[in-house]
Chain A
Amino acid sequence: MSPATAGDVRLVDISKSYDGVPAVEAVTLEVPAGAYCCFLGPSGCGKTTILRMIAGHENPTAGEIRIGGKNVVGLSPSARRTAMMFQSYALFPHLTVRDNIAFALRVRGVSRAERHRAADQMLEKVRLTELAGRLPGQLSGGQQQRVALARAAITEPLVLLLDEPLSALDEQLRVQMRQELRRMQRELGITFIHVTHSQQEAIALADMVVVMAKGRIRQAGSAREIYDAPRDRYVAEFLGGQNVLHYEIDKVNGASVLLKGPEARSIEVPLNGHAGKLALVAGAPIDVAVRRDDIQLRRPGTAGLPGTTALSARVKAVEYQGYFVKVLLDAGSADELVAYVSERDFFRETLDVGDAVLATWKNDLSRLLVLGDG
C-alpha cells in the first residue's frame, strides 16, 4: 500500500439505524487521501453519525468502512489511525494545554520528557507555545480549537475528523479559524473530514463537498461543481444562490429541451448530458436552476436577445447586501425568483417595489435538475 493512498477513506454501503429508525442509509463514498472533505447538511441529516462511524465511536449496522484499503469496522479509534476533534473541543479541564496535547502519548507509555518534547513541537505548529502551562478554562475559543487540533494531530493519524469545529465561535473568529484549519491540513498533509451545516464554510474550505439530507448523500463533488451545477432541487436550495423553477416538459429540441411554464410560457434549457439519464416524457414535471447572479434585469419592452429567456416580473422587495443588491421578484408563479444585482449596476438605475421588469438570462446558464425525493 503506497503512502499516497494510505489516508483515503472509502464508505461502502454504510447504514446505521437506532432502534429501527434509520439515521444513515446505504451511503457509498470515496474520499481521496490528503483531501479536505466537508460533509454538509442540516442537523439530523446523518453527517455527524457518519463521522462518528469513521472515527469508531459508533458502529455501522451494515456496510464497510475502509481506511487505506483496510476495513476498520470493529477496530478501536486509535487502531484505525483516525483522530477526532470534538465539537466544543472536549479538552480535559484538569490538564494543562501541554498535558492535553501530550495525552495520547501518555496513554501509550511514552516517557514524560519525550512526550513533552513532542507536545512542544505541536504547540509551535499551532503557534500556542506561550500558553503551554495554561488550563483550558483560561483560553479563548479560538485557542481552545488549536489545542484540540494539536491534541488530535499528535498521534499522526491518517484521517482527522472534525465535528462542527467552528460552530461555537463567533462570526469573525470563524472566518479567521477557517484559514487556520486549511493551513494545518496542508501542512500535515492528511485527509480531513469536516462536518458542518454552513454551506459558506464548506465551499470555502473543501476540496470535496458532500451534501446530505435524511441519511443519504445528495451530491458529492468539488465545491464549484456543487455550487454551480447542483444535481437536484434540495442541493440547489441548500447551497443557496440559485433560483429553482418548476416547469413541465414540452418536447426535446436537439441539444436542448423545451419546457412549458405557468401562463403558457415556454423556456429552453440545454440538455447538457442529461439526455440518457432523465426520463424526458412530455408532460412530466421538471426543475430548472438559474443562478441568481445570472439574472439580468431589463426594462419591460426591451427587445429580447437571441438565446435568452425573458420573464415579466414585478419587484416584490429590495435588500441591500453591500456589494450586491438582492431583488425579490414576482413572476406570476409560485416559484421564488431572486436576482443578485451588482451594487454599482443597481444604483445606476434603481428599482423600487412594484416596478415592472424583465428578468432575463442566457439559456446556456440554466440547468436541469434531477427530481430528488424531497
Chain B
Amino acid sequence: MRRYRRPWTFYALLALFVGYVAALYGPMLCIYVLSFQDVRGGLVFPMKGLSVHWFVDLFTQVRTGDVKGSFDRSIKLALMVMAITVVVSFLAGLGFRRRFRGDGVVFYAMIGSLVAPGLVLGIGIGLMFQFLGIQPSWTTSALGAQLSWTLPFGVLVMFAVMSRFDRRWEEAARDLGATRWQTVRLVVLPILLPGLIGVALFGFTLSYDEFARTLQTAGSLNTLPLEIWSMTLNVTSPSLYALGTVTTAISFLIIALCLGVIIHLQRRRAARADMGNVAGTEGPTP
C-alpha cells in the first residue's frame, strides 16, 4: 500500500525543504529585526531596544553617500529597464517562433550575455564608452548594461509563455477577418498578458538589484545597490540593516503587486484548464 503511507524519503526531503526555506529567509529576517534597534544598537545580537531610529538616521544623516538620491535613481532606472525589457522581449519572443537565418547566433549571443561575468561586461562597456569619448552615466551606459542582463531573462520567459500559446488562436483571428495588428492587439497581447507581467517583474527587480554590471557603468552617480556596496565596505552601524529592510520591502511590494495581478487575471480566465482549448486532441481527461 505505497499510496497511503508516505515513504521515509518524503520526510527526509520535507526536512530538507523546510531547512532550505528557513536558511533562505532566516538570515534576512535577522537583518530586518536588527534594523529596529534603538540608538544603542550594534551590528550583532543581542538586540538592543526597539525603535525606528536607524531608519530616520538613514535618510536624514549627512554622510558620504546619497541614499535618497540613489534610491530615486534606482527606481527610475528600474522602471525604464522594465518598460524596455517588456517591449523588446515581447517582440523577440514573437520573432523567435519561426526559424530564420542567424537565429542560432542571436540565441547564443543572448545566452552569452547572460552568462558573462558582470564585472567584465561592465569593464567592456566602460572601455567602449571611453573609446567613443562619451561619459558613462546611469541613464545611458548603466541602462544598456542592465538591459544586457534583463533581456535574456525576459526572452527566456517569453519562450516559456509562447510555448503554451496556441497558434491556432492567431489563425482563427485571421480567419475571422482580423488584420495582423488587430490580431496582436485583440488576441495575442491579452492572452499573453500574465506572461508579460512576469517579464515586467523580472525587468524591474533584476534592474533594481543589479550590481556588478552597473558598478562600472553608472558614472558618477550611484544606484542603490552601489550605495549599499559602499556602505557594506564601511559598515559601522545598523543603518545598513535599515537600508536592507527598506529596499527588500520595496522588492516584496513590487513582487506582490505583479503576482497579484497575474493571479487575478488567471482566475478570471480559466475555471477548468483542461477542456477543449488545450492544443492537440486529447480525449476526455482520465
A-B complex is real:
yes
A→B interface (CB under 8 Å): 55-57, 76-78, 82-84, 86-94, 103-104, 106-108, 135-141, 144, 151-152, 155, 164, 167-168, 170
* Contact assessment for A83 and B178 in the assembled complex, using a CB-CB cutoff below 8 Å: no
Task: List 5 A-B residue pairs with CB atoms under 8 Å apart, sorted by A's residue number.
Answer: A76-B174, A77-B177, A90-B168, A137-B275, A137-B277
CA distance in complex: A104, B176 (Å): 5
**Chain B contact residues: helix, strand, loop or mixed:** loop
The answer to whether A92 touches B275 (Cβ under 8 A) is no
Write the chain A residue with the least CB distance to B282. Answer: A168
Q: Are B191 and A94 in contact (CB under 8 A)?
A: yes
Say whether B171 faces chain A, with CB atoms less than 8 Å apart. yes
Quick check: B177 and A92 within 8 Å, CB to CB? no
Contact A155 B177 (CB under 8 A): yes
A79 to B176, CA, bound (A): 10
Residue interface bits B162-200, CB-to-A below 8 A is 1, else 0: 000010110111111111001000110011000000000
Count of chain B residues with a beta carbon within 8 Å of a chain A beta carbon: 33
> Which one of A56, A86, A138, A141 contacts B168 once the chains associate, using CB atoms below 8 Å?
A86
Q: Is B175 in contact with A55, judged by CB distance below 8 angstroms?
A: yes
Residues of B within 8 A of A151 (CB): 172, 176
Q: Please, which residues of chain A bring their CB within 8 A of the CB of B273?
A: 137
What 1/0 mask marks residues of chain B from 260 to 286 whose CB sits below 8 Å from any chain A CB?
000000001111110111111111100
Q: A57-B174, A86-B171 are in contact. List 19 more A-B contacts (CB 8 A).
A: A57-B171, A77-B175, A86-B172, A88-B168, A90-B277, A92-B187, A104-B177, A107-B179, A135-B268, A137-B277, A138-B271, A138-B272, A139-B276, A141-B276, A141-B284, A144-B277, A151-B172, A155-B177, A167-B281
Measured CB to CB, the nearest residue on chain A to B279 is A88
Within the complex, the shortest CB–CB distance from B188 to chain A, in Å, comes to 10
**Cβ contacts under 8 Å, B278 to chain A:** 88
Write out the residue numbers on chain A whose beta carbons fall within 8 Å of the beta carbon of B179.
107
Q: How far is the CA of A107 from the CA of B273 in the complex (A)?
A: 27
- In angstroms, Cα B282 to Cα A83, docked, is 24
Least CB distance from A134 to B in Å reads 9
A76–B190 CA distance with the chains assembled, in angstroms: 24
User: Within the assembled complex, what's the spacing in Å between the Cα atoms of A192 and B213?
Assistant: 61
Minimal Cβ-Cβ distance residue in A for B193? A94
What are the residues of chain B within 8 A of A76 when measuring CB–CB? 174, 177
Residue contact A103 to B175, C-beta cutoff 8 Å: no
Q: Contact at B191–A89, with CB atoms within 8 Å? A: no
B190 with A94: CB separation less than 8 A: yes
In the A-B complex, the 7 residue pairs with the closest CB atoms: A78-B177, A104-B176, A90-B168, A137-B270, A107-B178, A90-B172, A144-B276
